[in-house]
């Protein structure tokens, strides 16, 4: 992960564990000081997509934003929410986030 992705990951671990704690991408971007880009902060969205697709991190999206999925129901909801079948397949193979 690059530095920006590490910051995103740390913030999600502190504030967005579980579907009920999902945060909007713009709020996440604002909290971390990312400059606005596009309608829903395209830079942060790209970082998160890369984190899921290439780092296999348990990050899901829903209508309320992004979150770390912690169980089968949350993982499946995240998989259903994405529109690309390949991304949904990756999400289904990622293990749950377990707080230490």
All structural domains of the chain with their residue ranges = 3-93
Say yes or no to pLDDT of 37 above 70: yes
Q: Note the pLDDT of residue 83.
A: 63
pLDDT tens-digit readout, 43-87: 999 999 999 999 999 999 998 999 999 999 999 999 888 766 567
pLDDT tens-digit readout, 3-12: 999 999 999 9
Please, are residues 46 and 28 in contact by the beta-carbon 8 Å criterion?
A: no
What one-character DSSP code corresponds to residue 34?
A: P
30's CB contacts (< 8 A; 6+ apart) are none
Please, are residues 1 and 9 in contact by the beta-carbon 8 Å criterion?
A: yes
The rounded distance, in Å, linking the Cα atoms of 40 and 14 is 21
Q: Note the pLDDT of residue 48.
A: 95
- pLDDT, mean of residues 21-32: 95
Say yes or no to pLDDT of 15 above 90: yes
Please, are residues 94 and 53 in contact by the beta-carbon 8 Å criterion?
A: no
What is the pTM assigned to this prediction?
0.81
């Amino acid at each position: 992960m690059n530095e920006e992705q590490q910051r995103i990951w740390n913030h999600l671990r502190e504030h967005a564990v579980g579907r009920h704690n999902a945060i909007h991408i713009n709020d996440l971007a604002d909290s971390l000081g990312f400059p606005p880009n596009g309608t829903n902060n395209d830079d942060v969205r790209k970082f998160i997509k890369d984190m899921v697709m290439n780092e296999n991190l348990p990050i899901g999206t829903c209508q309320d934003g992004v979150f770390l999925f912690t169980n089968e129901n949350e993982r499946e909801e995240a998989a259903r929410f994405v529109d690309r079948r390949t991304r949904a397949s990756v999400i289904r193979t990622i293990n749950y986030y377990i707080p230490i």
